[in-house]
Copies of this chain bind each other. A is one copy, B any other.
Amino acid sequence: MAHESPDVPASLIVDLVEVGPRDGLQNESRTLPVEVRARLIERLVDAGVRRLEAVSFVRPDLVPQMAEPERVLDLLPAWEDGPDVTLIGLVLNRRGAERAVATRVQELNMVVPVTDGFATRNQGASVEALLDQAADVVSVARDAGRRVSVTLPVSFGCPFDGDVHPEQVAPVVERVLAMGVDELAFADTIGVGVPPQVEALASLVPEAARGATLPHLRFHFHNTRNTGYANAWAATRLDLAAYGGRVALDSSVGGFGGCPFAPAATGNIGTEDLVHLLRRGGVRVSDLDDVDDLSGLIDTAAWLSTELGSPVQALLGRAGDRPGVAVPTPDRGEPDGDAGDPGDAA
């Protein structure tokens, strides 16, 4: 399917992080049973996904959609001698981290919003306090031999504090890099980001690293205002030489997720649409290297839509994934033998 392009370096690789089982579900009104949540993860792995934010270790009274992460994990196959699957657990403090390392998750992802307005409303503490908690999480993860990443919500704009400028994000990046994380992610939580912000935020990391080893770079985009895929593409056009030509992107199968602060809006960028864009654009997607078509993702999105009672936001399932596929003969504008009497599709 890949469209060969001379403009994209052949070495560029995007590493997917499928967040459907976490960000895709946590804002839906319907809470899925743990069996269905485990089935979602299994289906995603069957479709070719290899790294997933599978569960979240948070308070079930606040986020019932994410309750009982341990039970979800227990229901999953071992995948021994099978695909090399990385399960990520989202955590927000030391207590969550201690729960997470008692499970099979190989990676912990800590969340540190970059504005006090969002930090206090989402996590009940200031950015400063959450940075201290992040240091605790990193310590717990390291002691348990797990990978650890940090995601920085509202890096592109905040529903409470308004515009967020990269200079505000820089000190948070510096603090996180000093903890020695494996990966750092900039998140456009409310979907207000645009491509120049992708470039500006990415440039903070080498500056903050001051020559030390860079963490992996990841982005988390929402398509709330139809800028999410443009931002994802912009991430692939960064100078990624210092990152070995790799960048990671979060996406959610079917584009489920929404934004809790814009209830009518659409959600995360959709995995199937993202993979389609990247592959047709000549970018290699590491996870699905041996998956030729995206029907596994498209079918999983349709199944999840039924389970959630919520429409698929991604478009590939409706449109077909390439020219000449899933395209009916038009029912008007047909040739009628009169070259001077045309339809007018443009």
- List A residues at the B interface (Cβ < 8 Å): 3, 5-8, 23, 26-27, 56, 58-59, 62-63, 66, 90, 92-93, 95, 111, 120-125, 129, 151, 153, 157-164, 187, 189-192, 194-197, 199-200, 220, 223-227, 229-230, 232-234, 259-266, 269-270, 273, 276-277, 280-282, 314-316, 318-324, 326-346
Known contacts A123-B339, A192-B322, A225-B276; 14 additional CB pairs below 8 A are A3-B163, A3-B196, A59-B341, A63-B333, A92-B342, A121-B330, A121-B333, A125-B339, A153-B346, A230-B277, A260-B345, A261-B330, A262-B319, A263-B328
Contact: A62 with B223, CB < 8 Å? no
A315 surroundings in chain B (CB, below 8 A): 223-226, 265-266
A342-B161 contact in complex given A7-B199, A196-B3, C-beta closer than 8 Å: no
Q: Name the residue on B nearest A115 (C-beta).
A: B323
7 contacts between A and B (CB under 8 A): A59-B341, A124-B336, A153-B346, A163-B323, A190-B327, A224-B319, A261-B345
Contact: B226 with A62, CB < 8 Å? no
Q: How far is the CB of A346 from chain B (nearest CB, A)?
A: 5
Complex Cα gap A153–B346 (Å):
5
Q: How far is the CB of A188 from chain B (nearest CB, A)?
A: 10
A189-B227 contact in complex given A7-B196, A194-B277, A281-B196, C-beta closer than 8 Å: no
A158-B324 contact in complex given A62-B332, A319-B224, C-beta closer than 8 Å: yes
A120 surroundings in chain B (CB, below 8 A): 335
Q: Name the residue on B nearest A121 (C-beta).
A: B335
Contact: B318 with A281, CB < 8 Å? no
Contact: B62 with A326, CB < 8 Å? no
Contact: A332 with B93, CB < 8 Å? no
Complex Cα gap A269–B230 (Å):
12
Q: Name the residue on B nearest A26 (C-beta).
A: B344
Complex Cα gap A159–B314 (Å):
20
Complex Cα gap A282–B194 (Å):
9
A121 surroundings in chain B (CB, below 8 A): 329-330, 333-335
Q: Name the residue on B nearest A316 (C-beta).
A: B225
Contact: A332 with B260, CB < 8 Å? yes
